[in-house]
């Protein structure tokens, strides 16, 4: 299949209407979209990515009126979070409407929903007129794409269309919050921080990794976000003794900095998060063998950042 690249949301929407897949920018990472009501199109997502079929997809909506067509109930706590954080990098897990095909949610009776704030994502969703299910637009196991070129690298020839935009702003995926229990539970840390959620709903908590009563975010059990290079968490950048073909990403310079073939120093945690996945891909292109990532405090966006770094390091 020849993959069309375009800047036109209207053209991209035609591919969706024809049951094809379109990769598109959001404020977090690029997504790979299909019409939520088209089972055959959704099947193509799992095929194109090599994604395990027990990993549910997130529904993307243009406005709140689309929420009723895909959910069966909106708990009061979800209403509060919607009011505060939609549109934005927050996914809420809610009871699913029966018209949504089972394949979209991997058979679960809940559905993750988010309203992206990115203008191009909004234009695409409005042009489609239906919600789109969309996982990150990478091959399964690879770092999520933050540029359209990264999408092309992974999925060229496997999808119909790439809707182009700039490098994504947040650089990490959305926060996934389960709203079906007695209190909101963060299943995946992401672009909206735990502190921000707790400012609106104080009883919001992190789902424990080993909590079997929590409905898991099935995707978090898979190997994720991995470059080909081996990733290490560096607690003290100044003490690293790198081998050949090593790279460093962080905030404080390692010493001596010349010992690294490639370094990226970020001014703060937001810039570090924004750059991480792209840095991983650039390291792979440069033949880097080991990547040292500076450990940061697990507060604010640092929680999501350290989650992605640890996964990449297989910790
Ligand atoms: O920022 C994002 O969320 C991006 C952009 C494209 O929107 N999407 C994304 O999708 O990261 P994906 O498929 O790569 O990750 C979705 C995560 C997985 O961990 C999945 O298991 C979880 O959300 N998830 C989806 N639906 C769920 C549900 N009903 N219950 C629990 N977890 C769910
Ligand atoms: Mg993903």
Q: Do 122 and 244 lie in a common domain?
A: no
**How many folded domains does the chain comprise?**
2
Cα 25 to Cα 209: distance, rounded to the nearest angstrom:
30
pLDDT of residue 151: 98
Integer-rounded Cα radius of gyration of the chain: 19
Cα 45 to Cα 48: distance, rounded to the nearest angstrom:
5
What is the pTM assigned to this prediction? 0.96
Per the listing, tokens 């704030």 go with: 117
Q: Do 205 and 303 lie in a common domain?
A: no
Q: Which of 164, 186, 216 is the last residue of a domain?
A: 216
Ligand closest to CA 100:
1
pLDDT of residue 38: 98
Q: Which domain holds residue 14?
A: 4-216
Mutation test of ligand 1: which of 32, 89, 135, 143 has the most ligand atoms closer than 8 Å to its C-beta?
135
Per the listing, tokens 């069966």 go with: 72
pLDDT of residue 195: 98
Q: Do 202 and 258 lie in a common domain?
A: no
pLDDT of residue 216: 55
Atom index in ligand 1 nearest the CA of residue 217 equals 32
CA angle 199, 297, 170 (to 5 degrees): 65
Residue 222 lies in a domain: no
CB burial of 65-88 (b: ≥16 within 10 Å; e: otherwise) equals ebbeebbeebbebbeebbeebbbb
CA 186 and chain centroid, separation = 14
Q: Do 175 and 300 lie in a common domain?
A: no
CB burial of 194-207 (b: ≥16 within 10 Å; e: otherwise) equals bebbeeebeebbeb
Cα 196 to Cα 199: distance, rounded to the nearest angstrom:
5
Per the listing, tokens 């979070």 go with: 81
Cα 51 to Cα 63: distance, rounded to the nearest angstrom:
28
Residue 221 lies in a domain: no
Q: Do 210 and 241 lie in a common domain?
A: no
Residue 245, domain CATH: 3.40.50.11030
Atom index in ligand 1 nearest the CA of residue 55 equals 21
Structure tokens at 183: 């209190």
Cα 262 to ligand 1 centroid, rounded to whole Å: 31
Cα 48 to Cα 34: distance, rounded to the nearest angstrom:
12
Q: Do 149 and 275 lie in a common domain?
A: no
Q: Which of 189, 216, 243 is the last residue of a domain?
A: 216
In a 3-state reduction of DSSP, which class is residue 205?
strand
In order along the chain (315 residues), what is the average pLDDT of each group of 10 residues? 98 98 98 98 97 95 96 97 98 98 97 98 98 97 96 98 98 98 97 98 89 53 76 89 92 91 97 98 96 97 97 90
Residue 192, domain CATH: 3.90.870.10
Q: Do 252 and 279 lie in a common domain?
A: yes
Q: Do 118 and 256 lie in a common domain?
A: no
Q: Which of 175, 194, 216 is the last residue of a domain?
A: 216
Residue 308 lies in a domain: yes
pLDDT of residue 226: 83
Residue 180 lies in a domain: yes
Cα 127 to ligand 2 centroid, rounded to whole Å: 24
Cα 170 to Cα 195: distance, rounded to the nearest angstrom:
17
Residue 181 lies in a domain: yes
Mutation test of ligand 1: which of 91, 104, 106 has the most ligand atoms closer than 8 Å to its C-beta?
91
> Ligand 1: residues whose CB is within 6 Å?
26, 28-29, 31, 55-58, 89, 91, 93, 105, 108, 110-112, 114, 134-136, 173-174, 176, 187-188, 215, 217-220
Three-state secondary structure of 256-308 = CHHHCCEEEECCCHHHHHHHHHHHHHHHHHCCCCEEEEECCCCCCCHHHHHHH
Cα 51 to ligand 2 centroid, rounded to whole Å: 9
Q: Do 81 and 108 lie in a common domain?
A: yes
pLDDT of residue 297: 97
């Amino acid at each position: 299949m020849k993959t069309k690249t375009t800047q036109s949301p209207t053209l991209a929407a035609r591919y969706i209407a024809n049951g094809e897949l379109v990769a598109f920018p959001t404020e977090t990472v690029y997504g790979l979209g299909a019409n939520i009501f088209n089972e055959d199109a959704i099947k193509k997502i799992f095929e194109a990515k090599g994604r395990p079929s027990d990993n549910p997809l997130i529904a993307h909506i243009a406005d709140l009126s689309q929420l009723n067509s895909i959910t069966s109930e909106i708990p009061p706590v979800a209403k509060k979070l919607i009011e505060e954080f939609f549109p934005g990098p927050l996914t809420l897990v809610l009871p699913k409407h029966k018209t949504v095909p089972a394949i979209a949610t991997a058979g679960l009776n809940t559905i993750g929903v988010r309203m992206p704030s990115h203008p191009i994502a909004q234009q695409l969703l409005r042009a489609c007129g239906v919600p789109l299910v969309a996982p990150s637009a990478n091959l399964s196991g690879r770092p999520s794409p933050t540029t359209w070129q990264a999408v092309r690298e992974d999925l060229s020839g496997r999808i119909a269309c790439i809707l182009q935009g700039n490098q994504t702003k947040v650089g990490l995926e959305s926060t996934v919050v389960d709203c079906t229990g007695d209190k909101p539970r963060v299943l995946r840390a992401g672009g909206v921080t735990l502190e921000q959620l707790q400012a609106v709903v104080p009883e919001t908590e992190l789902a424990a990794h080993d909590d079997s009563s929590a409905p898991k975010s099935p995707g978090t059990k898979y190997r994720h976000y991995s470059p080909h290079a081996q990733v290490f968490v560096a607690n003290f950048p100044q003490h690293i003794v790198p081998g050949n073909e090593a790279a460093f990403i962080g905030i404080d310079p390692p010493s001596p900095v010349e010992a690294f073939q490639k370094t990226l120093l970020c001014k703060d945690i937001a810039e570090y998060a924004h750059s991480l996945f792209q840095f991983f891909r650039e390291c792979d292109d440069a033949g880097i063998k080991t990547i040292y990532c500076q450990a940061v405090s697990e507060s604010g966006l640092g929680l999501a950042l350290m989650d992605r770094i640890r996964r990449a390091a297989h910790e």
